[in-house]
Amino acid sequence: MVSGLLAVAMACGAPGGDSDVEGRGSILVYSGRDEGLVAPMIELFSGELDFTVDVDYAGNTHAQVGRMLAEGDDTPAEVFFGQDAAALGMLDENDMLETLPDDILGLVPARYRSSKGTWIATSARERVLIFNSARVTDAQLPAGIDGLLDPRWRGQITYAPTNPSFQSFVTALRVTRGDDAARRWLTNFLANDPIALPDNGSVVQAVTSGQATLGLTNHYYWYPLVLAGGASSVGLHRFAAGDPGALVNVAGAGVVKYSDNKPQAIEFLRELLSEGAQAYFADEAAEYPVVSGVTSTTYELPPLAEVAGLDIDLDELASVAQTRTMLSEVGMV
């Protein structure tokens, strides 16, 4: 990477790299996803496309959104590839994304794409509760997040309040229950003395080591423990369907409205939904494929259709700024 920019030659034609990758020009992707994960996946496209893809990894998802909003219609970005629906929703709210063709939208279940047709999920992740199985059994755990307010869990729950995934969960709580109810839940949760940690990796470590009994995190932090043999000490608990704690969020992508190369940008999105790319997300990141029929050969992930989740329009997660204000007001961040 040079100054946050990676050029990936996506060529079709003769072997050995002799084909003209500039045949249809190039596109610039602003990626808020981790380069270590995304760059090898994009390499899978080599030989499939006849244009060059430049990927800018200069900031995380929300930093890239802020940059695009500041650039406005002068942004050089032609595709935005982000870590969560909130970021995509913010771009959509500011009329920066193009409406996608039906053949792409039709590849993704309606609940995992923009209701306006401006972005699609590329993979999904589920909010879960992990637990130290030496201290508690799955049957003893609450069906929903309100059960976490029980005094029996005082000082035993860990979470990462500054993490975007936790903040998206709180946004879903606000959207589904209202701001007043969300504020009450946060206040009561804090009164139960939860252990705040900087990130999800620390949450998993705290539960594994016994520092905490329960941890709020994403499903894909637990599945690698299974491969490493650690699942005997740490279990995974899913909240009931419809509970805010069962939120399924997504990584996704959209075509920037101001792109001069929309056909190529749309083709790039189509590749993100290809069987190879979907299998990559499942095998390398334990993320749920959003295209039906694709499974992981590494992890025993249930099909996304069997994950109960929360019935919510993911576009509504765009109000994450209000969530951060609320978290600050209650003293959580």
Among residues of the chain, what percentage have pLDDT more than 70?
Answer: 92
The whole-number pLDDT of residue 75 equals 98
> CA nearest 13: which of 49, 42, 40, 44?
49
Is the separation of the CB atoms in 213 and 107 below 8 Å? no
Residue range 17-42, pLDDT digits in tens: 333 445 678 999 999 999 999 999 99
Give the list of residues 6+ apart from residue 325 with CB closer than 8 angstroms, or none: none
Residue range 263-314, pLDDT digits in tens: 999 999 999 999 999 999 999 999 999 999 999 999 999 999 999 899 999 9
Residue range 176-232, pLDDT digits in tens: 999 999 999 999 999 999 999 999 999 999 999 999 999 999 999 999 988 887 667
Name the amino acid, one letter, at 192: N
- Mean pLDDT for 64-74 is 97
Residue 243 or 24, more confident? 243
What domains does the chain contain, in order, with CATH numbers?
A: 5-123+250-302 (3.40.190.10), 125-247+318-329 (3.40.190.10)
- Mean pLDDT for 36-56 is 89
**Which residues are bridge partners to 121 per DSSP?**
252
The kind and range of the H/E element at 260 are: none
pTM beyond 0.85, yes or no? yes
Helix (H, G, I), strand (E, B) or coil at 266: helix
